[in-house]
Amino acid sequence: MENRRSRRAAAAAVALITALLTLVGALTAPAAAAPPPLPYVHGGQTVPTYSYADAVRESVQVDTHLDSDHDGKPDTVAVDVVRPRTTTRVPVIMEASPYYSCCGRGNESQVKTYDQHGTILSMPLAYDNYFVPRGYAFVAVDLVGTNRSTGCGDVGGPAEIGSVEAVIDWLNGRGTARYRDGRTASPGWTTGRVGMIGKSWDGTLANGVAATGVPGLKTIVPVSGISSWYDYMRLDGVPRATDYPGWLASAVNGRPAGTCDAVQSDLNTAGDDATGDYNDFWAARDYVRDASKVRASVLIAHGLNDQNVFARNFSRWWDALAAHHVPRKLWLHQEGHTDPFDIDRGAWMTMLHRWFDYWLQGIHNGVMSGPKVRVERAPRQWQQQADYPAPGARPVRLGLGAGDGGAGTIDTGRGSGTVTLTDNPNLTETQAVGDPNTARADRAAFLATAFSGTTHLSGTPTVTLRFRSDKPDTELTAKLVDYGTAARDDYLANDLSGIENLATRSCWGESTADDSACYLDTTEIVRTTDYGVLSRGWTDAAHHTGLTRYTPVTPGRWYSITIRLQPQDQLLAAGHHLGLVLSLSDEENTTPSGTGANVTVDLTHSTLSLPVAGATHLGTATTAPRLTGTAPAAPATRSTPTRLLP
């Protein structure tokens, strides 16, 4: 017994001595060496360090597990890389696009060019010129089915998103790729940290890939991007154009003739033009539904007057990201389908530089501090805003009153009376919103008294109507108008961009003989007009029960429906008048099935909900104000095509 106790005591003593020696060793061991500073970081930012002319240029094919063209072979994705010539691993700025050969990128429609061996020679846009010398690689991905990639595009669906995911997997050592001569391509030059950027379809891909939660994607910068393809191709049940998905896929198709015909036909069938319903096809292309999966930070830029990718695509995405606590910032401008690079170039490039330095290089530069939103509320008048909608914005419910042979009223009281509309497929927007005091059978106009002070509109207006129709279906259109002379952005001009080129150029990065970093300067197109359309909204009467089921109305029966207009953020000047215009078919923006319906609206149970931050500055009105000088609009004509490339 005594021996056992002695052995236990000795063992305990040994254990204690061992522990003490381990502790002493840990305390006296030299501290682990700090990682060496990045050679291209000075003064709290990345700086030009590497030669752009001497950069490594590579073209590879990334393997995928997709077979989107159903040829029995996995699709491969063409990827072009420009990276610093250094042994230091660098992060990646990536733009995936269907436009690198068919349509071009940027205001000058640039395409990729290659040398005689098929290796990338010049990239569109200035991202490579500017960021590669600062310690970034730039990677340009040909979307599946386009340029030098195989497969067939499916317009925002699993094949397109999966093809870009495969590239991020390869950059993070989870996939394989080959040079064009068959040699294995290793991504050993990168840290695996990826930031995606791009405008329109390219920005859409950034949204869609982020919604998968793919590891390695650290940030995205979607510019004028789609967050729900239904919200792009359908306007609450109303098709923008027939056979739109297949047409888009064919417009950017880079495969031999006939290869993707069946896929494109299937896209049109699944899109279901006949009903306009939100179905499984659209759900698979609705990234807002998967916002909970987003692990990347998000910097959104969007035009509040974008008539290609409507502003609802940024606002629903922004709200969903907020609900899931995704780090995010927002730039809003008053132009159309335009990149901030062509609106406020210096400020935008400064923001991008700081954003990527923070999220991809880990430089603590304070970019996430301060207000979340930078917004242009009038031409060249930028403001910082804590959030969007503006803090304190709330819906102000306004009533609609029938007029006596002309415009009706908008006021803070309850509505009264009825109005009747007759469908006119040839009604233009200029006719609908111009000269609101003149009676027309094909539209109903309502006017408020003059604003007694500046009113801040921030958020999404809605119009709720109690209506009856003499046909089983009809489109319903609402337009919110600011009546009053002012300088306004002409966002419909120059292919819905709202900008025009100047004769001068500015340079953003280093150039080579084959790849210039210098771009035409631009300016906003601003005109003085008597009124401006603030927001537009459309819906289909047969979707009064919701967007998932086409339910024709019973002629003569009363129904209630809400039209969601596009979000906006503007200051409405004192002395101006708010107007609301209701009509039926709108063939300038949509492709409705014109039914020739006659619709009666019960104004007593119809309302306009206006999102206002601060005071509304509207009073009551017994009769509509008489406006002058509102008949001729500028521009006098409008030719918005219903089929657009996003």
Question: Any bridge partners for residue 258, and if so which?
Answer: none
**Set 68, 163, 200, 228: catalytic member:** 200
Angle between helices 244-252 and 261-271 (to 10 degrees): 150
Buried/exposed 459-482: b ≥16 CB within 10 Å, e otherwise: bbbbbebbbbbbbebbbbbbbbbb
555 in helix, strand or coil?
coil
Angle between helices 158-171 and 201-210 (to 10 degrees): 70
**Set 128, 243, 286, 306: catalytic member:** 306
**Set 302, 337, 544, 576: catalytic member:** 337
For the chain, report the end-to-end CA distance as a whole number of angstroms. Answer: 87
- Taking alpha carbons only, the member of 84, 79, 94 closest to residue 46 is 84
Q: Do 434 and 632 form a contact (C-beta atoms < 8 A)?
A: yes
Tokens of 272: 């279901």
Neighbours of 268 (CB within 10 A): 16
CA 172 vs CA 95, 100, 145, 192: distances in Å: 17, 24, 23, 5
Residue 300: phi and psi, rounded to 5, are -100, 140
Residue 2: phi and psi, rounded to 5, are -65, -40
Residue 456: phi and psi, rounded to 5, are -95, 110
Question: Any bridge partners for residue 140, and if so which?
Answer: 80, 95
Tokens of 615: 């005071």
Q: Do 385 and 374 form a contact (C-beta atoms < 8 A)?
A: yes
337 labelled catalytic: yes
Residues 6+ apart with CB under 8 A from 264: 152, 245, 246, 249, 250, 253
CA 587 vs CA 2, 100, 184, 610, 638: distances in Å: 102, 31, 53, 26, 11
Quick check: bond before 98 cis, omega within 30? Answer: no
514 labelled catalytic: no
Residue 427's Cβ-side half-sphere holds a number of Cα atoms within 13 Å equal to: 26
Report how far residue 644's alpha carbon sits from residue 215's, in angstroms, rounded to the nearest whole number.
33
200 labelled catalytic: yes
Active-site amino acid positions:
200, 306, 337
